């Protein structure tokens, strides 16, 4: 596996791959890799010649808490980097790209995504560094020139945002949305799961259990009643529901009634830890 830290080296290597006729796949992550990320790698390996996995672990600290940036970078390098490198090697990642934040954001221009549904736009602007977040993706596409990117369904709003960015920039990048990978107890794989206490983890299994239950209903009441049922069930297990959105599975526009294939998107807090999950349902 090739490890690259310089954006210029990555750009040059990608150009060499393109000239050799290789098809490049991109897996964009923030590190602390797990089975969910590796499922994206597996899909990419089946479709491309070269898989590039990118890690932007310190992006939040670089722009929200710059005074903590160096500290957090050292913590990542000491506690997680070796494991992440080992996992990438084990799953046959071809290139691990570890750019520095200073190198990545040479483009200081702003960018605005057009025609996002209001709920997706609200999610985007809830991100502390939403502008830098979009610029980082734009810069990565420019540096790596991928032919394909594999995005995870678990973070469906982020996947939709990246897909919209690719479409708006008219980039020749195929997008694959990979299904959610779950742990044995049904919890969606996430780096945040490790922060849950054993009791919170047990309570958190109520998220998927509730979504799975709703997916098996033969008929559906009003949107408000579905949301109320989900919220009440999870509240019974000590979860604090941040939002439940019920959207068209294709456009992510919020629905007024159930009359098409839809997706339930949820964020729940257990203590200070939030977990995201969703389920696609064909009524």
Domains in the chain (CATH in brackets) are: 2-178 (3.40.50.620), 191-278 (3.30.1300.10)
Distance CA 91, CA 263 (A): 30
Q: Beta strands of 30-147 (E only): which ranges?
A: 50-55, 95-97
Contact 33, 76 (CB under 8 A): no
- What average pLDDT does the segment 47-68 reach? 77
Q: If pLDDT is split at 50, 70 and 90, which confidence band does 112 have?
A: confident
Cα 244 versus chain centre, distance: 18
Q: For the chain, give the longest Cα–Cα distance.
A: 58
> Would the pTM count as exceeding 0.75?
yes
Q: Which residues pair with 188 in a beta bridge?
A: 182
Judge whether residue 178 has pLDDT over 60: yes
- What average pLDDT does the segment 121-145 reach? 85
- What average pLDDT does the segment 102-117 reach? 72
Contact 201, 175 (CB under 8 A): no
Contact 264, 245 (CB under 8 A): yes
Q: How many CA atoms lie within 13 A of 217 on its CB side?
A: 15
- Long-range CB contact pairs, 72-75, < 8 A, 24+: none
Judge whether residue 60 has pLDDT over 60: no
The H or E element containing residue 248 is strand 240-248
Sequence-distant (≥ 6) Cβ neighbours of residue 82 within 8 angstroms = none
- What average pLDDT does the segment 207-224 reach? 96
Judge whether residue 231 has pLDDT over 60: yes
- Long-range CB contact pairs, 271-276, < 8 A, 24+: 271/196, 271/197, 271/200, 273/192, 273/195, 273/196, 273/200, 274/192, 274/242, 275/187, 275/188, 275/190, 275/192, 275/193, 275/204, 275/207, 276/154, 276/155, 276/188, 276/190
**The two three-digit tokens of residue 213, written as one number:** 């239950």
- Given this model, what pLDDT does residue 213 score? 97
Judge whether residue 70 has pLDDT over 60: yes
- Given this model, what pLDDT does residue 44 score? 98
- Please state, for a pLDDT cut of 90, what percent of the chain lies above it: 77
Sequence-distant (≥ 6) Cβ neighbours of residue 17 within 8 angstroms = 24, 49, 50
- What average pLDDT does the segment 245-263 reach? 96
φ, ψ at 183 (rounded to 5°): -75, 175
């Amino acid at each position: 596996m090739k490890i690259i830290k310089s954006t210029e080296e990555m750009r040059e290597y990608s150009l060499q791959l393109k000239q050799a006729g290789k098809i490049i796949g991109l897996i964009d992550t923030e590190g602390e890799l797990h089975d969910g990320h590796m499922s994206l790698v597996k899909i990419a390996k089946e479709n491309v010649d070269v898989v590039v996995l990118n890690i932007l672990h310190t992006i939040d600290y670089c722009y929200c808490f710059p005074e903590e940036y160096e500290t957090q970078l050292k913590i990542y390098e000491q506690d997680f980097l070796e494991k992440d490198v080992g996992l990438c090697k084990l799953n046959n990642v071809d290139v691990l790209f570890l750019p520095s934040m200073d190198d990545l954001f040479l483009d200081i221009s702003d960018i605005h995504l057009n025609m996002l549904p209001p709920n997706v736009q609200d999610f985007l602007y809830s991100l502390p560094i939403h502008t830098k977040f979009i610029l980082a993706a734009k810069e990565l596409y420019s540096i790596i020139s991928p032919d394909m990117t594999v995005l995870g369904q678990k973070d469906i709003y982020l996947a939709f945002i990246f897909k919209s960015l690719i479409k708006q920039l008219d980039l020749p990048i195929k997008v694959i949305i990979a299904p959610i990978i779950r742990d044995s107890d049904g919890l969606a794989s996430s780096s945040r799961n490790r922060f849950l206490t054993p009791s919170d983890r047990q309570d958190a299994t109520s998220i998927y259990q509730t979504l799975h239950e709703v997916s098996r209903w033969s008929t559906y009441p009003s949107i408000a009643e579905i949301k109320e049922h989900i919220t009440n069930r999870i509240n019974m297990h000590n979860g604090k529901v941040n939002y439940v959105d019920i959207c068209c599975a294709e456009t992510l526009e919020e629905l007024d009634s159930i009359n098409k294939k839809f997706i339930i998107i949820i964020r729940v807090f257990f203590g200070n830890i939030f977990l995201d999950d969703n389920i696609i349902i064909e009524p």
